[in-house]
Amino acid sequence: MNEPRYQELVGRVLDDEFSPVDLEELTQALHGEPGRLADFQFHLVLWELFAQQRQRERGAEAFVAAWHTRLAAESQAATFVEKTIERIETGGVSQPSTLSPMPPLSSAPAGQIRSGRGFSELLRAAWARLNSSALAFAAGVALVVGLGVWYFSPTVGQPVLADVQGFGLSLERAGQALPATPGTRLQPGDVLRTPGNGTAAISFLPEKTRIVLNPGSEFKLASNSRGKRFALHFGKLESSVARQRPFQPMVITTPQAEATVVGTAFTLSTTTNSTRLDVAEGKVRFTRLSDGAAVKVPADHYAIAANVTELAALPQTGGILREWWTNVSDQTMHDFRGRGHVRFPRAPDAWDVARAFALESVKTNRLAVRFRGYLHPPVTGDYQVWLTGPADTALGETVLLVSPSEDAEDATPIARTGTRTFNQSPPPFPLMAGRRYYLEALIFIEKGEGHLSLEWKQPAGSRELLTGEFLSPLKTK
């Protein structure tokens, strides 16, 4: 493993923002590398020392000055370290609960990685490294101060209006309108309003953080001193956020929610009644303001905060899995499904991800196509569906199955076209926003021309084709 990747993994561990995959990778990097293992242990020691010394009311300068004073007060390094060890082992210093002895790193549960060994034992190991020479100790002191500055200094980037597209961008400061031109330095309290046909980008150079306001948005800069604080009153923004300092995340509030960001790429949109977060990279903590419920939203997932909505991280929408079987020998769908076709259901001839729940008219013989995935209702209420397909029993038939949950085993047929029964539109049924529901449709074309489409009606909408915006494909291994 190269050094940049190792440092990135250490940073994720110290921020409690690591995944099981990250943990396994770090374990492999430490195995058989005593120098790197000692370095990692030293970081853990310093982090716990910082945690004991850090207070919210202390600024970065006061924190670093306190460390200078404490180190300089000891005539010898051994005095400071040995006294610290003695106080810990005799109960003079309270140890955080995460410092109790634990299993090896690879089996340590998330959130407790810092306790790989007892704190005093880690401190002794760190001291053994520092005590090797006066030069090593001097380097250790420099590292302590350097890490203190790095971990607790203010964020480096300052907001600047970087790009403006279209006409009519509004910049308001202390109730006064100002020219909104690229290069304008933004201040806490500034309010930006984008027109219906324009966008605005905010950069934080030299930090690689960028926020793009979509058309028809209102955005306020609340603070930039102890982490970036913003408010999205309405509209939509897209952001790529560089890794922020610990204890100084970027926080964006909307009327319904709060997004806490350490470093990621995401999209946040809000309307009168709801806020939606879509995460492309990293992880974002998403909190519903009405009750304080929170969820961590990982990459390729989204969450919605609104009334009568379940707060959960769900896979991104965009389409539905579509599988094809050609040259089917069975005479009917019942034969194809019920008797266990040699290639059904696990060996389709081809598959793709359809952007809508539809199969355009196709003229063929003995073809079966199956749709499988999840329905993501945008609002809570009663929904209605319409299934269309070949009604002529000589041509083929279709069937639609829907589950009351995301479990495919609970799916039951609710609509058919073709042979035996004809029920294109079942009665309306209730769905809750923030959940996903498994659904499946199968069309069997015995001969001739066939097609399939699934239309739906939202609680306050009109009949329309069910598109990928509200669907996610089933993941197959």
CATH of the domain at 266: 2.60.120.1440
Looking at the structure, tell me whether residues 215 and 296 fall in a common domain: yes
Residue stretches of the chain with pLDDT short of 70: 14-20, 44-156, 224-226, 247, 329-346, 390-395, 419-424, 477
Looking at the structure, tell me whether residues 18 and 145 fall in a common domain: yes
Looking at the structure, tell me whether residues 168 and 290 fall in a common domain: yes
Domain boundary among 268, 297, 315: 315
Q: What total number of domains does the chain contain?
A: 3
CB atoms within 10 A of CB 411: 18
At residue 348, the pLDDT reads: 84
Quote the CA–CA distance of 11 and 5 in Å, as a whole number.
10
354-375 in b/e burial notation, b at 16+ Cβ within 10 A?
bebbbbeeeeeebbbbbbbbbb
pLDDT digits (tens, 9 = 90+) for 375-406: 999 999 999 999 987 655 446 788 899 999 99
Task: Collect all residues with Cβ–Cβ distance below 8 Å to 103 and sequence separation of at least 6.
Answer: none
Looking at the structure, tell me whether residues 355 and 397 fall in a common domain: yes
At residue 91, the pLDDT reads: 47
At residue 158, the pLDDT reads: 87
Q: In terms of DSSP H, where are the helices of 309-432?
A: 333-338
Looking at the structure, tell me whether residues 305 and 164 fall in a common domain: yes
Looking at the structure, tell me whether residues 210 and 224 fall in a common domain: yes
Quote the CA–CA distance of 403 and 439 in Å, as a whole number.
6
Quote the CA–CA distance of 305 and 289 in Å, as a whole number.
8
Domain boundary among 120, 152, 184: 152
Looking at the structure, tell me whether residues 355 and 250 fall in a common domain: no
Residues in the chain: 477
> Measured between alpha carbons, how far is residue 50 from residues 43, 69, 134 in Å?
10, 15, 23
At residue 101, the pLDDT reads: 35
Amino acid at 327: N
Tokens 């569906």, located at residue:
385
Quote the CA–CA distance of 253 and 391 in Å, as a whole number.
52
Looking at the structure, tell me whether residues 439 and 325 fall in a common domain: yes
Q: Is the alpha carbon torsion for 41, 46, 52, 55 positive or negative?
A: negative
Looking at the structure, tell me whether residues 170 and 248 fall in a common domain: yes
At residue 365, the pLDDT reads: 72
Looking at the structure, tell me whether residues 138 and 166 fall in a common domain: no
Tokens 């309108």, located at residue:
177
Q: At what angle do helices 134-152 and 34-53 cross, to 10 degrees?
A: 60
Supply 315's token pair.
Answer: 């896979």
At residue 212, the pLDDT reads: 97
User: Which residue segment(s) compose the domain that 343 sits in?
Assistant: 320-473
CATH of the domain at 453: 2.60.120.1560
Looking at the structure, tell me whether residues 185 and 120 fall in a common domain: no
pLDDT digits (tens, 9 = 90+) for 102-142: 334 433 333 333 433 444 454 455 445 545 544 444 555 55
> Measured between alpha carbons, how far is residue 331 from residues 192, 369, 403 in Å?
64, 15, 28
Which H/E stretch holds residue 280? Answer: strand 274-281
| Model pTM score | 0.66
At residue 46, the pLDDT reads: 64
Supply 243's token pair.
Answer: 């890794």
Among residues 275, 238, 282, 278, which one has the least CA distance to residue 261? Answer: 282
Quote the CA–CA distance of 390 and 445 in Å, as a whole number.
8
> Measured between alpha carbons, how far is residue 168 from residues 173, 203, 215, 236, 396 in Å?
16, 20, 11, 17, 57
Looking at the structure, tell me whether residues 342 and 359 fall in a common domain: yes
Domain boundary among 260, 294, 315: 315
Among residues 289, 329, 295, which one has the least CA distance to residue 313? Answer: 295
At residue 1, the pLDDT reads: 74
Quote the CA–CA distance of 450 and 442 in Å, as a whole number.
12
Among residues 351, 355, 348, 359, which one has the least CA distance to residue 387? Answer: 359
CB atoms within 10 A of CB 336: 21
